[in-house]
Structure 1
Amino acid sequence: MAAVFICILVGLSLASGEITQLQMTNCGSSSDIQIRQVSVTPMPIQVPGDIHLSVDGSLTNSIGSSKMTLSIHRKTFLGLEVPIPCLLHVGSCTYNDLCTMVDQMITENWAGIMGGIGQQVNTMLSSVGVNASQCPQTPKELHITDYTITIPTIPSILSWFAAGDYHVNVKVNENSTGRLLLCLDLQLSVTEHKDPGSSGWLLGRRKRRSQHRK
């Protein structure tokens, strides 16, 4: 159960567009995992900034060790989708064991930002009685209401995560059997937070180019 919402958060935290509301489509999830509603505001997501997350879902059967495959594409003005690579465990990556994923995010601090995000996810799930490291996860209801997650400035090494519209696909497969547990397609937008004193990832790149020309 915890893995479902970790997947969503990782996708959202790293992904100005025209989408004004998170769009979510079930693309083949099993009956073991039911996600009835997910709300993320503001949309477009402002980076850096706060997102407010609400989730209504449930786990109907126990789920053990599982693998998550995350595929992120940025949409272009031509209607094409450009794949986002996997770098430093961030992007279109495969995470082999969701039982240890959050702890690994925190201890290894992927890309210098995911440790703080992992801590926030841990606190959020703990507040509703979910242990992200528990394996297997036992049947339970999950209700998260307007929880605030702070998204930091994206470091220059991940500069391809530019503002725009994104298509995020999340798949979770049970490791012991390969059975598909979860498949979600998400459509969302990201914009850079407009702060005159900010050195965010887009603004920072413009400054460096300007200084280089001098």
Structure 2
Amino acid sequence: MDKYLTVAVTVSLVVFALITQVNCSSSRMRKVTKAQILGFDWENCGQSDDPAVLKSLSLSPDPINIPGDLTASASGSTSVELESPLAVSLTVKKEVAGFWVKVPCVEDFGSCNYKDICDILSQLIPPGQDCPEPLHTYGLPCHCPFKAGSYSLPQSDFSLPRVDLPYWLTNGKYQVQGVLGGGGKELACLKVELAIQSD
């Protein structure tokens, strides 16, 4: 599954998408016929003066079925222009026997650092190509730079396809923290908690 894209919402949707993206070798992947994401919750975890803030994020239904339909809405703002390079640092933890264990970075999955999300966006959607729906309809950008301002994604429907998941990313509870940085400064921080159940 490709990464979901948007501006101040970028951190939250990138975190969600990096969990389910497909870019690993088949030897590390497990075909999943059906999976569910339960108890999705989020919070801003940055400093009070972080320029980019997620103000709202709503995903339904609960549980989210994969494959299946997802309804999402979000809003956020940034007080500064977000321009390349925009680094994203993910910390993924899985609950094991009552303890939170950090998941290492394996083939771009897990607790990984991504040097420039702008490059990733350009690979997914070549410059000059229209942004995918519903971003195009609502005038939301999907390429860097992102101008300072407020952004809003009204309630929109997405179709989630069947995915391959890493062998370690199956059943369990997870915490994912994503930090967006640029120019040597933290720009935003988002923490997500969820549970995954798959067959």
TM-score under structure 2 length normalisation: 0.72
Q: Does 1:99 align with 2:118?
A: yes
Match of 1:187 among 190, 193, 196: 193
Q: Which residues of 2 match residues 41-80 of structure 1 at below 5 A?
A: 41-65=60-84, 66-76=86-96, 78-80=97-99
CA–CA separation in structure 2 for the residues paired with 1:167 and 1:96: 21
Q: Which residues of 2 match residues 157-172 of structure 1 at below 5 A?
A: 158-172=166-180
Letter in 2 for 1:132: C
Q: Which residues of 2 match residues 111-130 of structure 1 at below 5 A?
A: 122-130=132-140
Query: Gapped runs of 5+ residues in structure 2?
Result: 21-34
CA–CA separation in structure 2 for the residues paired with 1:53 and 1:26: 21
Deviation at 1:93, TM superposition (A): 2.1
Larger radius of gyration: 1
CA separation of 1:27 and 1:17: change in aligned 2, threshold 3 A:
farther
* C-alpha RMSD over aligned residues: 3.0
Q: Secondary structure at the match of 2:177?
A: strand
Deviation at 1:123, TM superposition (A): 3.0
Deviation at 1:124, TM superposition (A): 3.4
Letter in 2 for 1:127: T
- Equivalent residues of 2:88, 2:180 under 8 A apart: yes
Name the structure with the higher helix share: 1
Name the structure with the higher strand share: 2
Aligned residues: 176
CA separation of 1:105 and 1:79: change in aligned 2, threshold 3 A:
farther
Letter in 2 for 1:8: S
TM-score under structure 1 length normalisation: 0.68
Query: Gapped runs of 5+ residues in structure 1?
Result: 108-118, 193-201, 203-214
* 1:138 corresponding residue in structure 2: 147
